[in-house]
Chain A
């Protein structure tokens, strides 16, 4: 008894334990440090943008379009371009995404076709965005002769990119609706289509909308594919429709960042602030929808 106690309390043993506890503390501090570094970077990034850009946001900046002089340039043109582009994206990707999600989750027979569809959707979700730009250029512009650098082509390209996001979110939301709902509807004589459209879909809608908003916010921040389809032109007049030459908000950031005049640094940062405000609002809406309407079964 006394012998073992002395073994535990020997100098050698307590030195070892101290060492192990020190290692434990170091490890924990490293984890803390990793989080702090990431947070510090985030704060540094946002802080820099706000510091550089907040002075540039005024009414003129919001209502003017691009100009060659930094203090006359504004973001209205690109904001309107973004709006048109997002509208096209939403109109195309939301119905298509929801319908494919319903098909795959509720009606698709387990066969090779279904597997091919599922594999392509999952792969599309991982394809780099610039590849979608190549597709848009080769198919929409070269083959279909749609107007270059228009919101229509931009929106169609981004819709293809957003589609897998919506399908995957939609499938998860539909899957989360318990089978008892379907069984109950079928038991009182609803047809399978009625069951899905009258009962399953309304219950899955908040989840689908959350996924859609997240997909749209990604599309709103996307630049690379639009670079390839020519939405990088200098647009001094806001587009009047989806077939006019247009540019989008992130593209305006990119275009201004390449200007040599130092006055554009303020404009670039100010445009980034506006872009981030939109993204925060969209993601906030998604979180609100999820918390407000999502049912836990």
Chain B
């Protein structure tokens, strides 16, 4: 709660500052040109002077206060019973801190429980000190800002300069996120590769990680072969789903752009787009509830012995349906980009509409369509919920679509779904899988965008 109170206080004081400075500037206004900046800008300048020091002070305090809290707790008599050094000591301290911050946190260690009152007291004390420091900073900043309210003070320039800094900072978040993703994936994957060699991981054919097994078993690598996962992902996302999505998506795009009249198109297109807007968990549930049993009965009827409810086919088919609007809109764009002279030429030579489409439009639009399919594949292999609910957990390396299969995304969700330890290879494996998935989808996207760009340029 403390950060929120500080934030609200700082904002409130900033508001007071805004009114005070604006009033002072308004009092100075004697006519056109008597002030460099409008009173409102003086208000904003003042508000920044109040808020920023207080906020930065509080943020800085958040960084240094945990160390002070720990020192205070350790000097407490309750801390005397702690083990001298090492991992256990840190674990107890961390647990006590967690319990102090979070009253419903579970207790594991009675020694940690002893430390809780000391922690609560120290945290409260240092929070108060922090609040006091920010308050002082707010007033000091405000006093300085208030003396700046003068007729010749360029308040607007200063405010606009701060505004530009804010804009720049906001756009840095995107880079920060990318760096965060790449950094955390690479770091955890690096730790994973200290347990399991990359060769075993990328080329092994048996996937059976045991989250509770020993992390230092000598033949650990044998259970972390990810080939079955890669195959399952490709089979479901890039083969079965595309067998469904490419013909349906392409044909509906062709019908809507070439045959349907404008009124029908106006209605059908948004309705088809609904397919892309339905949450994937709904597709997953639908696949598990209706499609998977159908597939199982079908598998039973063609003589498969104990068919499983979960199958690659059910997941892939539903995923294909989900991807239709995606393929269709990409195909739509690339067909529309083909110059109409090519189409008119073909029609003028006596070709029927379908002949024109098949022999002229599609070949001409092919690079764009292929790029669209690549984007669709990258979307399909990153999809989690449908495969989680319908494709199953068994890491089968098989080409039979009626069998249960597992994917990279499924395993990530499963390995991290429990409360796994962060230093166990089974948990870290999820990050390694994530890194592979990230690299593959990124490559697919980069190649596809290249192709689209070149294709557009060819007709311009």
Contacts and interface: CB of A to CB of B under 8 A. Distances in A.
Interface of B is mostly: helix
Which of B173, B438, B449 gathers most chain A CB within 10 Å? B173
Contact of B167 (A33, A107, A122, A227): A107
A224 B280 contact: yes
A222 to B, nearest CB: 7
Contact of B437 (A42, A131, A221): A131
A121 B174 CA distance: 6
Interface in B79-131: 98, 102
Given A20-B355, A254-B389, A283-B277, A135 B181 contact: yes
A20 B352 contact: yes
Contacts of B375: 126
Interface stretch (A63-71, A178-186, A272-280): A272-280
Contact of A127 (B163, B175, B289, B438): B438
A137 interface: yes
A4 interface: no
B51 to A, nearest CB: 15
Interface string B259-293: 10000000010011011011111111110111000
Nearest to B352: A24
B252 A38 contact: yes
Nearest to A103: B167
B21 interface: no
A38 B281 contact: no
A122 to B, nearest CB: 8
Given A138-B188, A250-B279, A265-B289, A32 B255 contact: yes
A192 B383 CA distance: 43
B175 A128 contact: no
A163 interface: yes
A126 B383 CA distance: 12
Contacts of B216: none
A28 B259 contact: yes
Interface in B426-460: 430-431, 434, 437-438, 441-442, 445, 449
A147 B105 CA distance: 10
Interface stretch (A54-62, A94-102, A204-212): A94-102
A56 to B, nearest CB: 14
A160 interface: yes
Contact of A221 (B279, B285, B353, B358): B279
Nearest to B414: A227
A128 B437 contact: yes
Contacts of B283: 45
A228 B427 CA distance: 11
Given A139-B184, A257-B288, A265-B289, A38 B248 contact: yes
B158 to A, nearest CB: 12
A120 interface: yes
B171 A224 contact: no
A120 B412 contact: no
A96 B271 contact: no
Contacts of B282: 45, 49, 221, 250, 253, 272, 275-276
- Provide the main secondary structure of the chain A interface: helix
Given A134-B434, A160-B177, A129 B382 contact: yes
A232 B417 contact: yes
A77 B272 CA distance: 32
Contact of A223 (B256, B281, B288, B431): B281
Contact of A31 (B187, B188, B252, B413): B252
Contact of B174 (A33, A100, A128, A221): A100
Contacts, number: 247
A107 B174 CA distance: 17
A20 B321 CA distance: 31
Contact of A130 (B98, B382, B389): B382
Given A24-B353, A100-B167, A134-B185, A128 B279 contact: no
B279 A135 contact: no
A193 interface: yes
Contacts of A224: 280, 384-385, 388, 409, 413
A46 to B, nearest CB: 9
A96 B250 CA distance: 37
Q: Interface centre among B282, B321, B355, B389, by most A CB within 10 Å?
A: B282
A193 B163 contact: yes
Contacts of A89: none
Given A134-B434, A223-B385, A227-B413, A167 B286 contact: no
A15 interface: no
Contacts of B156: 191
B306 interface: no
Nearest to B166: A99
Interface in A250-273: 250-251, 253-254, 257, 265, 268-269, 272
Interface string B162-201: 0110111011111101101100110110000000000000
B254 interface: yes
Contacts of B173: 96, 100, 160, 163
A135 B285 contact: no
Given A42-B271, A48-B290, A103 B175 contact: no
A123 interface: yes
Contact of A124 (B174, B256, B281): B174
Given A31-B259, A223-B280, A250-B279, 17 more contacts: A27-B353, A32-B255, A34-B252, A38-B321, A45-B286, A99-B171, A122-B449, A130-B434, A131-B438, A132-B181, A134-B431, A164-B174, A220-B279, A223-B385, A227-B413, A257-B284, A257-B289
10 contacts: A24-B352, A24-B355, A35-B252, A45-B282, A108-B171, A129-B384, A131-B185, A193-B160, A221-B278, A254-B281
Interface of A: 20-21, 23-24, 26-28, 30-35, 37-39, 41-42, 44-45, 48-49, 52, 95-96, 99-100, 102-104, 107-108, 116-117, 120-124, 126-135, 137-139, 142, 145, 147, 160, 163-164, 167, 191-193, 217-218, 220-224, 227-228, 230, 232, 250-251, 253-254, 257, 265, 268-269, 272, 275-276, 279, 283
When A and B form their complex, which 7 residue pairs have the shortest distance between CB atoms, in order from nearest? A128-B382, A31-B255, A221-B279, A34-B251, A99-B170, A27-B354, A138-B184
